[in-house]
Amino acid sequence: MTQTDDDFAAYAAARYPVLLRTAVLLGAKVDAAEDAVQSALVRCYRSWRAVRRADNTDAYVYKVLANTIAKSGRRRWHGEIPTEDVTERVGHRGDYAGTIATAVTLRRALAALPVDQRAVLVLRFYADLSERQTAEVLGIAVGTVKSRTSRALAALEGSAVLKGLEDHNA
């Protein structure tokens, strides 16, 4: 393996779980999210040196992931390549029922938002991108990011789904 391959492998291994959760938060079902993340990583690998030279590697990868998810609704790719090397998934131990219930509730609240508002919230607050980076990823103006964020947060504030979460945690 070359240094570039090692760098990509380390990046992909470290960021895969976060990218997968981001894809789910962007609205993909878990199996489709896995496919989207893998497809996005393959696309990034093809030009990894250029990706690494970008101002923000994560923002570039998120942009590819967002585009991959958007395109996946239009067509299905059936070019999976079987391999014997399967990445292990790290599981949690213990009772996380409350955490899982909160996560499910938050996903429901996000799913109730329009896609454009959901994407802005996920990229801004989950992926921790700046307004400028979010605008670049989504191909919109910074002002649009601000207005969509404001509208989405207002919608979540009035969400009956989240009201139930507040009542449960009180």
* pLDDT band at 121; cut points 50, 70, 90: very high
Give the whole-angstrom CA distance, residue 6 versus residue 42. 14
pLDDT, the chain, mean: 84
Average pLDDT over residues 147-154: 94
Burial 44-62 (b: 16+ CB within 10 A, else e): beeebeebeeeeeebbbbb
What pLDDT does 104 receive? 82
Task: Inform me whether the pLDDT recorded for 77 exceeds 60.
Answer: no
| Residue 31 zone, left/alpha/beta (φ > 0; ψ -120 to 50; rest) | alpha
Look at 76 and 56; give whichever has higher pLDDT. 56
Cβ atoms of 110 and 122 closer than 8 Å:
yes
Q: Which residue has the tokens 């799913």?
A: 111
Contacts of range 99-105, beta carbons closer than 8 Å, 24 or more positions apart: 101/168, 102/165, 105/161, 105/162, 105/164, 105/165
User: Measured on CA atoms in the order 87, 91, 97, 100, is the torsion positive or negative?
Assistant: negative
What pLDDT does 72 receive? 76
Neighbouring C-beta atoms of residue 37, cutoff 10 Å: 27
| CA–centroid distance for 90 within its chain | 18
What pLDDT does 81 receive? 58
Average pLDDT over residues 40-50: 93
Q: Which two tokens stand for residue 127?
A: 């992926």
What 3-state class would DSSP assign to 83?
coil
Look at 100 and 119; give whichever has higher pLDDT. 119
What 3-state class would DSSP assign to 141?
coil
Alpha-carbon separation of residue 87 from 27, 50, 117 (angstroms)? 23, 26, 32
